[in-house]
Structure 1
């Protein structure tokens, strides 16, 4: 007789009701703060080669579950697999982050096609490997797939590098809205395919990362953040009606978070720490809330972790909440701090 083990994170997304066990996972939980991750990483000079090697990517996806009592694995990959698959040159430079071929002419945008789809298929193989491992050894864990949202992907493609304000992108979108819309539409189409294939391969939940949503406001936010995410979610659900979707429009601020949550169709809103959980609890209705714990606090202050965990769990008590960070685990984070965080979540009693 096969025993069915409940997946707490998936249950809270399905029911949108609080669970007795608060689910927890961490953005960038597979990463450089883990020595076992660094052991695998050193075998690859090229970061995308690492992402496109299924056995290695599956191994580092599972690594955090061996150490910590987490409720989910998030597939190890990168949001820039989409521009790469569209034929854009993507490089990761040590200490500098991603460098992309600049894509800012109508001619170049018209040329974008999924010419490297075989590399994306390696991500789907990774998901299948992880799913098999979870089913065998971690049956209560949820598998999360993901993609970058169109605005964020377009930021990297037009700017070429990471930037805190993406001024060149905003100017380009304002001066060439028709051309920029073409780029967004190409990214939407590629992302819908990518997410559908992740679901077919075994992802229980998907997450959309709009890391640079917070640089926009007003009508620009509506056009370039809300509408593209809304289109992706609608198209994915045409085939996978029941799939649960987490949205992360980072640093959007109270009002825009609310509009994003209301209009896009996400089941869960992941928030950074630019608004308080009290604001989110009062203003974002009928959604699961995720996140807000400061990743730099996790990296630097073991003694303050318990106090902050208790504060967050008291605020969110009585409503559906997934414990997570405001952004990813930073490489300098001590392993014992992560363990302290999770133990305090598990031991908390109201």
Structure 2
């Protein structure tokens, strides 16, 4: 199943970027891992570690890191973006300039989850705007229930390669698949990206419930009703409702809402325990995509007139300084409704 001998540039050396780069090396590909931090590149190359992002793990000695993006993109067949959503546009512009100079059109893949601030555009939309079709052979989103810490240690993981171009998705499927990482293709790029972004909102809520001392019943309720919310909003934008019960929907939701590996869950847990949002952000040391995505989803729900009470409650806590306990109480005392599961996917 492997496509041997591919040259791949991985942009972003956080936990997920560095582990995916290592997967590709283990699969027999030539990989350049780009970071803008010289000390980080030096650590990866000399010590084969990336301790700020993934502790007690040693990368393949064949993995090479660089701070020279031009060198990283030289002769590449595939470019994998694994940078925070807020950096996607800026990095895309840089990549386009280099690809134009090199007259190269590689396959573009991204493993970032979120929406752009203010525009609320998906990652593939940003890439499409900044890297013209003449300098790329396709755009694929790699998404699903995956923690870098577990993939690093070869835990069994299943995720999705989504693209409007099925051949491009299949190429990514073959690029990454091995005996511990299984990839499924999905033509619903819009739904996969929205599910990946919106689930972080519910993960914040799941962490907050834990911080408040609630148990499994509350968590199950939040995840189930949260899935109904994000499905309604996704379908309103044209996503296939079935995508939200797949790997990039309920699969990603489950793993993000139940694991201490999830930074969104950890952030919510701290908020539920009484910590102030600025202190949570400072303590995390990494991007908490769910915070910005909550604002995006709330404003989009208002625009589309979609009922999203859980999202609104989390928005009130993050952006209006509301008390978490009062918001939980408000959700529990809302007017009684019929569950009507199938209808809730579209209404």
Give the TM-score normalised by the residue count of structure 2.
0.29
**Bigger relative contact order, structure 1 or 2, given CA contacts below 8 A and separation 6+?**
1
Give the TM-score normalised by the residue count of structure 1.
0.28
